[in-house]
Amino acid sequence: MALGFGRKNRGAESPSSSLPTPQDSKDGVLGGGESPPPGYRADVEGQGGRKMSRIDKPLDAASDSDSGLGIGAQIELEKDNAIKYRTCSWPKTAALLFAEYICLAIMSFPYSYSVLGLVPGLILTVVVAALVLYTSLIVWEFCLRHPEVKDVCDIGQMLFFNSKWAWWFTAIMFLLNNTFIQGFHCLVGATYLNTISNHGICTIGFSAIMAVISWVCSLPRTFSVLARLATLSALFTFISVILATIFAGIEPHPEGYPSKGEPLVLAIPVAGTTFVAGMNAFMNISYTFIGQITIPSFIAEMKNPKDFPKALWAVTIAEVILFSLVGSVIYAYTGTNYNTAPAFGSLGNEVYKKVSFSFMIPTLIFLGVLYASVSSRFIFFNLFQGTRHMGEHTVVGWAAWMGILAVTWVLAFIIAEVIPFFSDLLSLMSSLFDSFFGFIFWGVAYLRMRKADHGAQFWKVRGVKGMIGAAFNVVLIAIGLLFLTGGTYASVMSIIQGYESNSFGGPFTCKDNGV
């Protein structure tokens, strides 16, 4: 769950990343419609580069076996750099995706199933996974057509006709989304530390400790290096949720038994389930799958982006199996009446709870690290594009990188501590942002790419296939609007209900938030 500033080149150019001239374009460096290398002013007319409003036809695969001349040029330009970005293989990209998706949110699936009922919950899990797989493939196709794209903000500008307002709008959403996710991991990290230490120190202290540890782990500058940490994160998370599932099955009773009677397991929603409760449960499932915001950033550092679907299919299949298995089994043993989110709190045995939760600590750190890196990469690239600080180990470059990361983590810590309804606010932000990054952007991208391929009436030219494709992507846009309206409404109502029931704590509280 990877904003872009306007493309401006600041500072002196590095000899290894000098920009092509208009004459280079005419002489063939950028000929044949291929894309420019990093740092090329693609949004400026008159330089021979692409306009950011242009949605191109597919690149000629026969002209370059390495996913288009644009990518080959990018790799060539940084071959002598100390820091190289186009270095990720598809297994490393898969590791990043696994770390992003195989996370703590899995342990909230039992809660979603308890509200929606087991059958609708499982069906929605598969449907949402399929929709996210489809839209992620659209993101991939768009990035193949435009190897010059470095992040989702570039795509936002291109989709909406080179509008600077679209770039800034996307950038603001992008940075806010990532920073709030970082804040969430400060808060959840404090929850773990409170749980394992029996509230050893003030919760604010635990949040600060998580922020500092996460800042240190964020320091690597490329995704290729972070992929090693991502592998460990995904592995430990898998162990954590499997242990919790096994423990839920072998312990005699869940936490709190028998105060609420026998565990109640429902195949369909219980009568009287409100729209707000059902929508929040559905959104919880959806938010766990939606992570397309980082995909353009990941693809921008792949050696061969054509291999991206291998990583995508691997993580999607694993998601569906793991989410469904963990959610349904834990729900079956804890029921609607003893269920908590995260589900570690449903375990009655204190040792089981602490052991299974402890294996989650790598992902509590790494997922925040991943989003911090994506945000800092975006800011850093736009500040230093075309300078030697991008590809060399300079004092200025490293000081700026560490400083940008520090600012994001300080803001994340403050946000996590100041807002008393942080979890509900995160849901609100997800409703506002994931509606665009999960669905609306990619429905629009499909329609614009097909128009570029087949003309304004592409849906007629392609026959039944074109009509179905156009209709389906209009539906995707409508789903995004449902998230934006219904999801936002449900989140706001949940915040109101929280205030009415006095269930929110105060800002900068020392209160124990352990499970």
Structure tokens at 461: 């030219």
> For the packed helices 308-334 and 118-145, what is the interaxial angle rounded to 10 degrees?
160
| Residue 67 confidence (pLDDT) | 40
Contact yes or no for 439/476 (Cβ under 8 A): yes
Task: Write the CB contacts of 17 (distance below 8 Å, at least 6 apart in sequence).
Answer: 37, 38, 39, 77, 78, 81, 386, 388, 390, 391
Tens of pLDDT along 37-53? 333 333 333 333 344 44
| Residue 297 confidence (pLDDT) | 95
| DSSP assignments along 370-416, one per residue | HHHHHHHHHHHHHHHTTSTTTTS--HHHHHHHHHHHHHHHHHHHHHH
Contact yes or no for 104/189 (Cβ under 8 A): no
Q: Where are the domains of the chain?
A: 85-501
Structure tokens at 242: 């499997």
Strand partners, 88: 302
| Residue 140 confidence (pLDDT) | 96
| Residue 59 confidence (pLDDT) | 57
Strand partners, 302: 88
CA 358, 361, 364, 370 torsion: positive or negative?
negative
d(CA 24, CA 26): 5
Tens of pLDDT along 242-273? 999 999 999 999 999 999 999 999 999 988 88
Q: Could you give the residue ranges of the DSSP H alpha helices within 419-486?
A: 422-435, 441-454, 458-461, 463-482
Instruction: Give the SS3 label for residue 210.
Output: helix
| Residue 60 confidence (pLDDT) | 52
- The parts of the chain modelled with pLDDT lower than 70 are 1-54, 56-69
| Residue 57 confidence (pLDDT) | 66
pTM of the model: 0.85
| Residue 30 confidence (pLDDT) | 29
Q: Could you give the residue ranges of the DSSP H alpha helices within 146-222?
A: 152-159, 164-197, 203-217
Q: Going by CATH, does the domain composed of 85-501 fall within 2.60.220?
A: no
Residue 54 class from Cβ within 10 Å (0-12 exposed, 13-18 middle, 19+ buried)?
Answer: middle
